[in-house]
Amino acid sequence: MVVNLVNSSATRTPVTSELPLVSVIVPAYNAEDFIAETLDSVLQQTYGNLEVVVVDDGSDDRTAAIVAAIGDRDDRVRLISQGNAGVAAARNLGIAQSSGSLIAPLDADDLWHCSNLERQVACLLTHGESTGVVYTWSLDIDESNQLTGDFHASKAEGMIYKLLLCHNFLGNASASLIRRSCLEQVQGYSVALRAAGVQGCEDWDLYLRLAARYEFRVVPEFLVGYRKIVTSMSADLSQMAKSHDFMLRSLKPQSQLPAYIYRLSYSSFLMYLARQSDEQRQPRETIAWLRRTLKFDPLTPFLRLSFYWLWLHSLAQMLGARCQRTMGRRSAAIGRDAVTRQARGTTAQPQPEYWRQPPMKPQPQFQATGVALSPTTWRLRLTIVITHLLQRWL
């Protein structure tokens, strides 16, 4: 069962002087595999008044050539090149070279549903200048655009700084629409993380600085496909942990929040890293992240069902790996015995492979047009309820 089905219209919103220009900022580094599909999802937007600024951050593949070819066909796409300076510097350069009053960041491998900008702009225009950011929900996808089953969803709105400090419920850089005036007030993306050698939380850092001054609003629909691949920056978990620590240390002197807020932020993020490690089938690393979670927060992890599941799953994986090694040795012995019996002419007929698993049904894919997909109802509702209760408690 799915919820929040979005019926997409194929018609594009006509451009009028009343519609604000949206500048889509796409930093790209060695993104040749996905950049064309990403830009196609932007150019199919039903919101017509947009420009696309792609900043090639020193790529050594065909990224720049692909973007240039797309720009030749559609004059809304513009390519800017710089030496490799990091994602924050690339985004800042793109923003500086753009003209829109609204800024829509987009990673070079993510996808938008065709109604994404139209719905976000409509939401932002219904609220006053006190609203600086509108965000929407996102679904995790793999290299083939298939849904992995994970998602980012929340209904938190208003002044959400404390909740956002504990948990980045926006989930990624591609889910937001930001007023340019608000970005200028907080001086854009921070390049300090790159300078410190701890890239990874640039979007979260920006969201927090915006949340300290402005209200957030939400479009509660799944309009973003957030791509997670092994070679992406978000897959480097130790780097992400260092980036999160640097971000909190830089923010702490500017706020008077109690210490438990920061402990909760550490434990929540380390639990996230444990889940990512589990997805990468690294049970020992998963247990290491769980142990670090308890170091920062010896209480709240025990209130999370995922804490127990990750422990049990990691231990089962480690036990299973040991069993596989044992079975591997036994299989080798059986193989040697089969060769011996074959030489003697006594090889028995092979038995049916009854243990073979039936082929898995293909996962649904994120579609840039048509009906937007969403997770099962109970998971979505549970996530929203937990986030709501946490916001009220904080």
Give the pLDDT score at 302.
Answer: 83
**pLDDT, tens digit, for every residue of 220-245?**
999 999 998 765 545 578 888 888 88
Give the pLDDT score at 263.
Answer: 81
* Amino acid symbol at 369: T
pTM of the entire predicted model: 0.77
**DSSP H/E element including 136:** strand 131-141
Low-confidence ranges of the chain (pLDDT < 70): 1-17, 230-235, 253-255, 321-394
Enumerate the domain spans of the chain. Answer: 21-109
Q: Tokens in use for 218?
A: 């939400």
- CATH for 21-109, among 3.30.565.10, 3.90.550.10, 3.40.50.1000, 2.40.50.140? 3.90.550.10
Give the pLDDT score at 337.
Answer: 54
**DSSP H/E element including 223:** strand 215-227
**Contacts of range 300-308, beta carbons closer than 8 Å, 24 or more positions apart:** 300/264, 300/267, 301/267, 301/271, 304/271, 306/271, 306/275, 307/271
Let me know: does 222 contact 373? Beta carbons within 8 Å: yes
Give the pLDDT score at 61.
Answer: 95
Q: H-type helices in the chain, by residue range?
A: 35-43, 63-73, 87-96, 116-125, 161-166, 180-185, 192-195, 202-211, 237-251, 259-279, 283-296, 305-344, 377-393
CA angle 218, 41, 232 (to 5 degrees): 80
Give the pLDDT score at 210.
Answer: 97
Give the pLDDT score at 150.
Answer: 81
Give the pLDDT score at 267.
Answer: 82
SS3 of 356-368: the string is CCCCCCCCCECCC
How far apart are the C-alpha atoms of 340 and 336, rounded to whole Å? 6
Sign of CA dihedral 283, 285, 289, 295: positive
